[in-house]
Structures are given as structure tokens and as C-alpha cells.
């Protein structure tokens, strides 16, 4: 039986979340963020700085588009979508170091992180149901 330390350490090694990915982007960490959703989802909105490789295309496209040895983070729609896990499996089969961004695009948006679509930046909305929202102090 797996003990709690092993389980949670392994889980943290293979998962990340929206706020940690955003912090890593801001810090200039070396990784590629991959949106594994379909074309319509990508066009509707995506994480700023992500690249688009639907999970069904990873085996064919990733070796040509993402250098070997580059760490990868994948995401799909939400906690209710398993395309992120499917994408992670495909990257792992190719030998990439890969993590899944839990919460997916939904939690990225709900935490007010930058998103874009084909027309440009989308409004940032901060959802008090998933994070502390601070009111600016008047002054």
C-alpha cells in the first residue's frame, strides 16, 4: 500500500495549478504550456502564452514543435475534463517531463490570469469562490 508521503509527493511532481503556472511564467521558468483542447475551444479563449496541440495530435506534432527535454505543462477545460490527462499520457510516451495543470482553463480564468482569443486579450475576472479577492484601498 502506498503511504501518504509517497502518494502526495508523486501527485505534486505530476500536477501543478493555475496560480503556480502563472508565477512560473512571470518568473521566466523554462517550460511550454500546452492547450490540448480542440480548435473551437482554442479560438474561444486560451491561456496567454500557451501553444495549441490538441491531445490527439501530440504524438505527431510534439517532436517537431517542442524540443526534447523541454518541460511541458498541459491543460484542458476544467476539473471535469480528462483531455489534460490524455495529453499528459501522450507527452510521457514521448519521453517529455510533463505535468497537468489541475483546474484547467476554468480555474485559470476564475483566478483572473491573462487570457486571449484570436481578437486579443480577454477581460480579467477574479472569482471570490476560488481565491481571495482584495478590494483596492481608496487613497
In the block, cell 505535468 appears at 99
* Residue 79 Cα to chain centre, angstroms: 12
Cα→Cα distances 75→117, 134, 136, Å: 16, 27, 31
The per-residue pLDDT for range 41-97, each reduced to its tens digit, is: 999 999 999 999 999 999 999 999 999 999 999 999 999 999 999 999 999 999 999
pTM given for the model: 0.94
Amino acid at each position: 500500500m502506498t503511504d501518504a508521503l509517497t502518494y502526495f509527493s508523486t501527485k505534486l511532481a505530476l500536477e501543478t495549478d493555475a496560480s503556480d503556472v502563472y508565477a512560473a511564467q512571470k518568473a521566466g521558468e523554462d517550460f511550454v504550456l500546452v492547450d490540448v483542447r480542440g480548435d473551437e475551444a482554442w479560438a474561444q479563449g486560451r491561456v496567454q502564452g500557451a501553444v495549441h496541440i490538441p491531445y490527439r495530435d501530440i504524438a505527431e506534432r510534439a517532436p517537431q514543435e517542442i524540443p526534447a527535454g523541454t518541460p511541458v505543462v498541459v491543460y484542458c477545460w476544467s476539473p471535469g475534463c480528462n483531455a489534460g490527462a490524455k495529453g499528459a499520457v501522450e507527452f510521457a510516451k514521448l519521453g517529455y517531463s510533463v505535468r497537468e495543470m489541475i483546474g484547467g482553463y476554468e480555474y485559470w480564468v476564475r483566478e483572473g490570469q491573462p487570457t486571449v482569443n484570436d481578437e486579443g486579450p480577454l477581460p480579467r475576472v477574479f472569482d471570490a469562490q476560488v481565491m481571495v479577492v482584495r478590494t483596492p484601498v481608496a487613497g
